[in-house]
Amino acid sequence: MDSSALRTKILDLAVAAGDGSVTADELAGANYSLRDVGYSSLSYMRLIDSIENEVGVYLDPEAAIEHYETIDSVTALVVASGTGTDA
């Protein structure tokens, strides 16, 4: 999976993990900032779990918060973990 496809996948997972509290359009309007759309701690945990299950990479839920602030920072964290992207 290339990094663009991975970013799209993470965006989809973030919306699903928000359990109806956030949409892709709301995220786009907030420059893809999870924090700025009021993403809950439960949603973050769901997102981390979804990434582990769907992408196959372990993410430390206690990593520095800046890694989880935006779709781009989450994508960068996943890529840095060596998921086998083509990036």
| Local confidence band at 84 (pLDDT 50, 70, 90 cut-offs) | very low
For 86, the 3-state DSSP assignment is: coil
DSSP 30: T
Three-state SS for 62?
coil
Burial letters 66-75, b for 16+ CB under 10 A, else e: eebbbbebbb
pLDDT reported for residue 87: 40
For residue 13, name the pLDDT band (cuts at 50, 70, 90): very high
Which residue from 69, 66, 85 is spatially nearest to 31, judged by alpha carbons? 69
pTM above 0.85, yes or no: yes
- As a whole number of angstroms, the distance between CA 4 and CA 53 comes to 19
Q: Could you read off the pLDDT of 16-71 as tens digits, one per residue?
A: 999 888 999 999 999 999 999 999 999 999 999 999 999 999 998 888 888 899 99
